[in-house]
Structure 1
Amino acid sequence: MALTLYGIPNCDTVKKARRWLDDHGVAYRFHDFRKDGLEPAKLQGWIDMLGWEKLLNKSGTTFRKLPDAQKESIDAASAKALMLDQPAMIRRPVVEGVGDPSVGFSADDWQQRFA
């Protein structure tokens, strides 16, 4: 299976990840959440494997703009609905294609995983 990197092109972490893949000659396909969308079944698969807590980007401005009551009462169902409605709430990048899906970028981890 080919490597697929999911994210948003203007995200700094996605930019670092793409630069790392390019610099290390790792072929990949970029999937833009906003432009290409995200199937609910795909997101559910990530939630099943990684957990919604790991996928939900609580440090981003999109999440921080939510009302406090909504942030405090978040659960798996509401987190999934938020991520589908506003893909910027998904921690980035999500990578599929080599082993289990992963979320986030770490040059050291990626060196071991993709080299």
Structure 2
Amino acid sequence: MLTLYIISNCDTCRKARKALDEKGIPFKTYDLRKDGLSAPLLEHILHRVPLVEAINKRSKTWRELSDEEKDFDANSGRELLLKHPTLLKRPLLEVDDDTILVGYQDGDYDKL
């Protein structure tokens, strides 16, 4: 079964959920804010999605970070995501053991 990592009040996450529902594709949701982002889960995601791709630089949380925090490396980037799970781009759709799709635009799930 697919896993959709979301934040419940995110409009793009709602669109992704609706698209999967409309296509009749079964999935489970994992709310990064409510359920939390643990170090093992973050490593699971980053094994499939590069750190630079995983950080949402358009988010309000990103804009509120200091310049020092924005200048991250692999270790500090992980710490940043664990401290601020809303920095993780979303939605993330885990399709299989090797693939996680990042973000959502209309038509992205048509091939599922």
With the length of structure 1 as denominator, give the TM-score of the two structures.
0.88
d(CA) in 2 for partners of 1:27, 1:49: 21
More displaced stretch, 30-39 vs 93-102:
93-102
Could you say what secondary structure the match of 1:77 adopts?
helix
TM-score scaled by length of structure 2? 0.90
Do 2:95 and 2:101's aligned partners in 1 also have CA atoms closer than 8 Å?
no
1:77 corresponds to 2:83: no
Deviates more, 1:25-34 or 1:37-46: 37-46
Report the CA distance between 1:75 and its aligned residue: 1.2
Structure 1 residue 96 corresponds to structure 2 residue 73: no
| Segment drifting more, 16-25 vs 45-54 | 45-54
2:93 counterpart SS class: strand
CA distance in 1, matches of 2:80, 2:100: 20
Give the unaligned 5+ runs of structure 2. none
Distance apart, 1:101 and its partner CA: 1.3
Q: Within 2, Cα distance between the matches of 1:33 and 1:96?
A: 14
Give the aligned partner of residue 4 of structure 2: 5
Distance 2:83 2:68 in 1: 18
- Structure 2 match to 1:19: 18
The structure with the largest helix share of the pair is 1
Residue 108 of structure 1: SS of its match in structure 2?
coil
The answer to whether structure 1 residue 57 and structure 2 residue 56 are counterparts is yes
In structure 1, how many angstroms separate the alpha carbons of the residues matched to 2:110 and 2:95?
A: 15
**Counterpart check, 1:105 vs 2:110:** no
| Equivalences, count | 111
Deviation at 1:5, TM superposition (A): 0.4
Please tell me the root mean square deviation across aligned C-alpha atoms, in Å.
1.4
Unaligned runs of 5+ in 1: none
Q: CA deviation at 1:46?
A: 1.8
Is the Cα–Cα contact under 8 Å of residues 91 and 102 in structure 2 kept in the other structure?
Answer: yes
Residue 68 (1) aligns with residue 73 (2): no
1:39 to partner: Cα distance: 2.4
Shift of 1:69: 2.5
The 4+ residue runs of structure 1 with deviation greater than 6 A are none
